[in-house]
Amino acid sequence: MSESISYASGASERPLLGVTIPHFFDRVVAEHGGREAMVSVHQDIRLTYSQLAERVNELARAFIAWGFAKGDRVGIWSPNNVEWTLVQYATAKAGLILVNINPAYRVHELAYVLEQSGCKGLVIQNRFKTSDYVAMLGEVCPELESAAPGALRSAKFPELSTIVSTTEPESNGIFGWRDFLALAGGCSGEDLAARQAELDMDDPINIQYTSGTTGFPKGATLSHHNILNNARFVAAIMNFSEDDRLVVPVPLYHCFGMVMGNLGCLTHAACVIYPAESFEPDSVLRTVQEERATALFGVPTMFIAELALPDFAEYDLGSLRTGIMAGSPCPVETMKQVNELMHMTEVEIAYGMTETSPVSFQTRVDSPLDKRVGTVGLVHPHLEVKIIDPESGAIQPTGAMGELCTRGYSVMLGYWNNEEATRAAIDRDGWMHTGDTAVMDEEGYVNIVGRIKDMIVRGGENVYPREIEEYLMTHEAVEAVQVTGVPDPKYGEEIIAWVQLRDGAVLSEDNIREFCRGRIAHFKVPRYIRFSDDFPMTVTGKVQKFRMRETSIAELGLKEIRTA
């Protein structure tokens, strides 16, 4: 790396893997079949690698027997459980493309994803918390109740034919889990092996929807090569081995859970542990204690909640060694507490984005303490990064702010069926433009300063203001709306909506929140609402969101949060 410019490349003596996920999976099972692969505490399920493989292969054969062809899309709409991971590996083996659907999605978000991805199949948990997935699915697919299992004919989703419940069906057109697995008899082990032989490491394997500045989510499309290698290097930098036991309270529908968690453990024959369907701080610490976990993942808000438990000191966390804090800016003080109070002396920060599979930077255990707690670390192996002037595109000198760009094996194949968005994100030289403002020092350590784009990161969830703005504009009383983020000690950022009402209209803050609840994901509902007829503008009429943020911070008495 030059000492004068903000460019770095990740040299590595460890080569990239040139195989598919199923090929690597089978190799790990052959070598480590008797080792514990997975524990689901809330389901009371334990599986060795051999037992995991039996279940995965059975499910893969069922998909093939029912007529799923290579490249077909299968969605999964469920919180964390064993079935989620079985679907992840089974779709990979059958050459299908897994479409991750956020468990917090409501009806219109579900409909968009099913239509945009062209899902042929959908695996659901019947309900989760206050969400009745069967009822919501029936709302967008009224034909479901009169259909036979696997024979849905939807006017809105012509490609969608097969819905599978992870338990028992609650609608005529839904397969029960055991009924669907029974179809596996129609596909032999040889047939499955033949399907696997057709696969290529550069085939798309996963679509993950990220909120878009156009107001609609974009489907980042990732390959075997993308996510298998990224998972392997994340775990390798953590010094993982087959003796490690990782607790994963982060959602599997994110790269953090399914790539860094599930695949990261697979690449080192380690054990992945799910403490609950979704995050519960006490269940996390109890699981760490009872399972003698060596590693723990989480976004900063999760670690903050765990540290804040009244009985925190009563948990025996002495088995912990490492872990990763990522998903949103990491408060430096929280990082220090995790290091000291949770015995995670080798805890690391990772930075990336879904579009880069996800990790581009990671701290190292042998870095100086100030670099470990005050930066996002060094570039990942086999990747290139640069920081550019967003106007000219020229590489910035070290110490100067600019837009962070990434190039290498981890960059997504593109946004599913969205060439325009793909071209806007990945330039002709293969650089992924992150939209994040960063600074690199002369040793290659990077600080993320802010975002060129106006994305809000709330508790690890990426929220794009345009999405919320477009929804609020559907309210008949709303004339105009602008949404931005403000600092929050718990979630990193919270959402504030500046709302201009139509002449004569009367609306309260509660009215607006009620309009959002149940219709957009809960984490997108604005925490703060400010009624205003005067948005800060440039002379050309462009809204100045940074001034909105400054005004909101001052009016609400908030403080910026120092982050790594």
Higher-confidence residue of 409 and 4: namely: 409
> Once rounded to an integer, what is the mean pLDDT over residues 477-500?
92
Q: How many domains does the chain have?
A: 2
Task: Report the DSSP beta bridge partners of residue 402.
Answer: 438
Per-residue pLDDT band at 503 (split at 50, 70, 90): confident
* Domain CATH number, residue 149: 3.40.50.980
Domain presence at residue 418 = no
Pairing mode of beta strands 36-40, 271-274? parallel
* DSSP states of 362-429: E--TTS-HHHHHHS--EEPTTEEEEEE-TTT-PBPBTT--EEEEEEETTS-SEETT-HHHHHHHB-TT
* pLDDT score of 464: 74
Residue among 134, 214, 226 at smallest CA distance from 173: 134
DSSP annotation of 261 reads: I
The three-class DSSP label of residue 553 is: helix
- Domain assignment of residue 533, yes or no: yes
In this structure, the strands spanning 414-415 and 432-440 are unpaired
Domain boundary, last residue among 145, 176, 199: 199
On the question of pLDDT at 213 being above 60, the answer is: no
pLDDT band at 470 (very low <50, low <70, confident <90, very high): confident
The two beta strands, 478-488 and 492-501, are: antiparallel
Query: Across residues 9-15, what is the average pLDDT?
Result: 96
Helix residue spans in 218-331 (DSSP H): 224-237, 255, 264-267, 281-291, 300-307
Region class of 354: left (phi > 0), else alpha (psi between -120 and 50), else beta: alpha
Bridge partners, 222 (sequence order): 206
To which residue do tokens 């209209």 refer? 505
- Per-residue pLDDT, 334: 85
Cis geometry, peptide bond prior to residue 142 (ω within 30 degrees of 0): no
Give me the chain's average pLDDT, please: 93
Segment 150-205, tens digit of pLDDT: 999 999 999 999 999 999 999 999 999 999 999 999 999 999 999 999 999 999 99
| Backbone φ, ψ for residue 29 (5° rounding) | -65, -40
Q: What CATH code is carried by the domain that includes residue 507?
A: 3.30.300.30
> Do 400 and 437 touch, CB atoms closer than 8 A?
no
Least confident of 74-83, 291-300, 443-452: 443-452
pLDDT (0 to 100) of residue 215: 55
pLDDT at 453: 66
Residues 6+ apart with CB under 8 A from 480: 473, 499, 500, 535
In percent, how much of the chain has pLDDT > 90? 81
Output the six-digit token pair for 180. Answer: 């669907």
118 φψ region: left (φ > 0), alpha (ψ -120 to 50), beta (else): left
List Cβ neighbours of 5 (8 Å cut-off, separation of 6 or more).
386, 395, 396, 397, 398
pLDDT attached to residue 359: 98
Tally of CA atoms within 13 A in the half-sphere of 395 that contains its CB:
17
Pick the last residue of a domain from 155, 180, 199.
199
* Confidence band, pLDDT 50/70/90 cuts, at residue 216: confident
| Strand partners of residue 196 | none
The Cα–Cα gap between 148 and 173 comes to 5
| Local confidence band at 1 (pLDDT 50, 70, 90 cut-offs) | very low
H/E element holding 132?
strand 131-132
CB 102 within 8 A of CB 78: no
User: Is the pLDDT score of 467 beyond 60?
Assistant: yes
In whole angstroms, how far apart are CA 339 and each of 80, 307, 343?
A: 26, 11, 6
Question: Which structural domain range is residue 548 located in?
Answer: 458-556
560 by Cβ neighbours in 10 Å (0-12 / 13-18 / 19+) ranks as exposed
Give residue 522's pLDDT. 92
The pLDDT-based confidence of 381 (bands split at 50, 70, 90) is very high
- Band of the pLDDT at 541, cuts 50, 70, 90? low
Task: Give me the DSSP letters along 535-546.
Answer: --B-TTS-B-HH
Question: Domain for residue 140, yes or no?
Answer: yes
Q: Given this model, what pLDDT does residue 2 score?
A: 43
| Three-state secondary structure of 184-207 | HHHCCHHHHHHHHHCCCCCCEEEE
- Domain annotation covers residue 261: no
Per-residue pLDDT at 560 exceeds 90: no
- 229-233, 434-438, 446-450, 454-458, range with greatest mean pLDDT: 229-233
Residue 194 lies in a domain: yes
If one counts every other C-beta atom within 10 angstroms of the C-beta of residue 477, the result is: 14
Residue 422 has pLDDT above 50, yes or no: yes
Asked whether residue 397 is assigned to any structural domain, the reply reads no
pLDDT at position 502:
86
Q: What is the pLDDT of residues 259-273, one digit of tens each?
A: 999 999 999 999 999
**113 domain residue, yes or no:** yes
Tokens of 29: 């099972």
Predicted confidence band of residue 455 (pLDDT cuts 50, 70, 90): confident
Stretch 506-525: mean pLDDT, rounded?
A: 94
The answer to whether 160 and 152 have CB atoms below 8 angstroms apart is: yes
As a whole-number percent, the residues of the chain with pLDDT over 70 amount to: 96
Which of these three, 156, 172, 199, is where a domain ends? 199
Whether pLDDT at 211 is above 70: no
**Taking 60 as the threshold, does the pLDDT of residue 257 lie above it?**
yes
Residue 375: inside a domain: no
pTM, rounded to two decimals = 0.86
